[in-house]
Amino acid sequence: MAALDELREIVQLCRRADAWRSDTINLIASENVLSPVARRLLDSDFHHRYAEGHPGKRYYEGTRFIDEIEEKTRVLVGSVFKADRVDVRLPSGTLANEAAFSALVPQGATAIAHGLDGGGHISHARFGALGKRAARILELPRLPDGYRIDAPKAKDMIRAERPQIVVLGRSLFLFPEPVREIKEACIDVKATLLYDASHVLGLVAGGLFQDPLGEGADLFTASTHKTYFGPQRGMIAARGKDEEFWKPIDRAVFPGVTSNHHLFSLPSLHAASLEMREFGASYAEAIVRNARALGAALHKRGLHVDAADLGYTASHQIAVDVSAQGGGREVARRLAAGGIICNMNVLPGREGQTPLRPAGIRIGVQEMTRFGMGESEMGRIADLVHASAVDHKNVEEECRRLRSEFREIRYGYRLDQVELVPA
């Protein structure tokens, strides 16, 4: 009975988590929610199965159905991003980076990427996936605002340092990257230009933020669960690349960093990709409107929102300096206690901050946008954030009341439309 008691406890914890989350305002910039259809497709026999290699060339037998799903998903994703080389077998965006770096970066190479205080992801850092290959990782120069690359200086650095790879894309990602300008210098020194689209993939799919492949990136890597509202997986895509370029990446994915690739979530990715193709443009537009509206509303209430003179953001994120309110760690915890979930974050150019004691918080609006919130709700959220962060009020009840008005997921398909209603 002890085991059953423990099992019941785990079941209850899951139920409590579901109930609690449904009452919170989630502003984590790296999270999103699945549509009912995409979520329902996570529950299948594929949870139990293996499929190594490519469709039709598996090591295991019994893969004919997942073979068909994987091939359809690869083709669909290629159509969304106008990419003719696509791999959807990665379990995460970080593993996508791991595969790409192991294929494209010689041991001991020089790389150029964003530093952590410039919004770079840990997989681009010396202690992450890129650091396993590159002996030197130089930081891309930024304009005084801290959020945009100084393109002329970056081009000079690339030509002087002659890196094997340049990595664009960030974890704190407010504005598009100067892909075309950087590509010019990469061509001169024969460097690969990789764009990590993990945070902005849904905006790219919606045709709003930028088109990294069309602007000159050799490939992009991405996770599929941030602004791209799929399950937690990863992908790599390229356009116009020959077999010589793609073959090392293919081998790096399998057998390099994957064996079985979590088959159960592939049908869900296909569903999300169909939804993104259908609703992505309007969803992306709503996200950016909401992010800018929330930035303006917080600024109006006296909080220090970065990049105010640039319109706050061109993505789903805003960055708020809360040094005056106790710092990022303290404010993020205070907000979470009241039902507003975000994360502490290092901000560019702040003296004295550390990753565990950062100056700011990072906010993303994509999940609340998917639940149907608009610009007026961003004003209500700003009131709650101010009350918690500045006035130290517990806003849990007000947060629950606001969230109760937005239960239905938008920009997706309903269960009854595809006959997935449980029997």
- 239 and 379 co-located in one domain: no
All residues at 6 or more sequence positions from 93 whose CB lies less than 8 Å from its CB, including other chains: 123, 196, 198, 221, 222, 223, 224, 234
Tens-place pLDDT, residues 10-65: 999 999 999 999 999 999 999 999 999 999 999 999 999 999 999 999 999 999 99
Residue 257 lies inside a defined structural domain of this protein:
yes
pLDDT at 1 over 70: no
* Single residue among 215, 249, 272 that ends a domain in this structure: 272
- 265 and 300 co-located in one domain: no
Structure tokens at 149: 């690359």
What's the domain range around 336? 280-404
Residue 7 lies inside a defined structural domain of this protein:
no
- 186 and 115 co-located in one domain: yes
* Single residue among 233, 250, 272 that ends a domain in this structure: 272
- 246 and 315 co-located in one domain: no
The number of domains in the chain is: 2
pLDDT given at position 117: 87
Residue 79 lies inside a defined structural domain of this protein:
yes
Alpha-carbon radius of gyration of the chain: 22
- pTM of the entire structure? 0.96
What whole-number distance in Å separates Cα of residue 101 and Cα of residue 103? 5
Tens-place pLDDT, residues 370-396: 999 999 999 999 999 999 999 999 999
- 245 and 289 co-located in one domain: no
pLDDT at 422 over 70: no
- 59 and 167 co-located in one domain: yes
- 338 and 379 co-located in one domain: yes
Helix 328-337 × helix 375-389 angle, to 10° = 110
Range scoring the smallest mean pLDDT among 148-162, 262-276, 346-360: 346-360
**Which has more pLDDT, 349 or 288?**
288
Mean pLDDT of 287-299: 98
Residue type, 324: A
Task: With cut-offs at 50, 70 and 90, classify the pLDDT of residue 419.
Answer: confident
- 355 and 376 co-located in one domain: yes
pLDDT given at position 351: 87
All residues at 6 or more sequence positions from 358 whose CB lies less than 8 Å from its CB, including other chains: 327, 328, 329, 344, 345, 346, 347, 350
Residue 193 lies inside a defined structural domain of this protein:
yes
pLDDT at 423 over 80: no
Residue 9 lies inside a defined structural domain of this protein:
no
pLDDT at 421 over 70: no
Residue 75 lies inside a defined structural domain of this protein:
yes
Residue 17 lies inside a defined structural domain of this protein:
no
pLDDT given at position 115: 93
All residues at 6 or more sequence positions from 181 whose CB lies less than 8 Å from its CB, including other chains: 151, 152, 154, 155
pLDDT given at position 398: 97
pLDDT at 150 over 90: yes
Q: Assess contact for 320 and 363: CB atoms under 8 A.
A: yes
